[in-house]
Amino acid sequence: MQLFLIAGPTASGKTALALRLAERLGGEIVNADALQIYRDLRILSARPSPEEETRVPHHLFGVADAADGWSVGRWLAAAEPVLEAIAARGRAAIMVGGTGLYFRALTQGLAQLPAVPVDVRQAIGERFEQIGEAAFRAELKAFDPAAETRISPGDRQRLTRAMEVHAATGRALSDWQADAAPAFARDYQALVLEPPRDQLYARCDARFAAMVGSGALAEARTLLARDLDPAVPAMKAVGVRELGAHLSDEIDLEGAIALGQQQTRRYAKRQLTWLRNQAPDWPRINAVEPETRWEVLAKLWGL
């Protein structure tokens, strides 16, 4: 099958480029964004609009409830039959998103890790709280330097996960991952959208403001009213906490928007860092202008 992967940080313009490619090839789009999975986050996750979704078939967008936390493994298990069905129809699949771990699982495979006992998980979480991230990283680096290097600053979830796996199995998470077989033997073509940092940040700011103007406040209110576990992925989406602070009268709307914009920029920076470290050989498109982007893509992929 024809499989095209378009990765990039939030607000980099992935949706528009993927739509153009899908229409050119008669292809179908598959979601590789961990937050666009949730139906509760259409606005705050910048999911394709209903109008965009009618232009070409879309898959794995808005398919999960916010209370139902999806893992990388669950996404991969859902993506496999979708890709197989697209191939059976003789169509191209365009996978698009900003979740680097999804792309890595798809192209490099997913390690089959033993379950981590609850008491081990709790003990590791308590250890992180006691000593802080810097000291925790130093401990992780002693037995899994590869994991410590690739995990972004502030990513507590993946830091503690790496420590949990070692504590439970006596083996580094990186070693488990090295044993993983690629999920798909078929070929793929990939690229990363990487706009200049100043332009990307300006797009982040503009989009968050536009989200608020398009109903993000009501979306956050509805989600927060469900009183879900704060640890589920949907509750960690940029904008939920910031707009929630306004809804609870902690800050004014202008302050909430400023915080949301700041967190969006930080999120984009983390995504860029991950892609530079984990997909350094994927071609980059730095242009922002749509026609220039298309010309670069067409040249890269021989369209």
Q: What is the pLDDT of residue 94?
A: 97
Question: Amino acid identity of 290?
Answer: P
pLDDT at 93 (0 to 100): 97
The pLDDT tens digits of the residues spanning 143-180 come to: 888 888 878 788 888 888 888 888 888 888 877 766 66
For residue 117, what pLDDT is reported? Answer: 84
CB atoms within 10 A of CB 215: 13
DSSP per position, 6-37: EE--TTSSHHHHHHHHHHHHT-EEEE--TTTT
Q: Helix (H) and strand (E) counts for the chain?
A: 13, 6
CB 256, CB 243: distance < 8 Å: yes
CA dist 84 and 59 (Å) reads 12
Q: Are 61 and 47 in contact (CB under 8 A)?
A: yes
CA–CA separation, 239 vs 257, rounded Å? Answer: 8
Check whether 184 has a pLDDT greater than 80.
no
206/12 Cα distance (integer angstroms): 12
Question: pLDDT tens digits, residue range 66-100?
Answer: 999 888 889 998 999 999 999 999 999 999 999 99
Residue 33 pLDDT exceeds 90: yes
pLDDT above 90 (res 28): yes
Task: Give pLDDT, residue 171.
Answer: 85
Residue 137 — very low, low, confident or very high, per pLDDT cuts 50/70/90?
very high
Look at residues 257, 270, 247 and name the one whose alpha carbon lies nearest to residue 206: 257
Whole-number pLDDT of residue 182: 58
* Residue from 53, 55, 105, 54 nearest 80 by CA: 105
Contact 55, 216 (CB under 8 A): no
Q: Three-state SS for 190?
A: strand
Cβ contact 66:1 at 8 Å: no
pLDDT of 238: 95
The residue-averaged pLDDT of 272-278 equals 90
Question: Domains of the chain, with CATH numbers?
Answer: 3-110+181-301 (3.40.50.300), 118-178 (1.10.20.140)
Element (H, E) at 140: helix 118-143
Rounded to two decimals, the pTM is 0.81
Question: ∠268-43-191 over CA atoms, to 5°?
Answer: 40
Which pLDDT value is given to residue 278? 86
Give the separation between CA 33 and CA 61, rounded to whole angstroms: 9
Query: What is the percent of the chain where pLDDT is above 70?
Result: 96
Paired tokens of 162: 């790496």
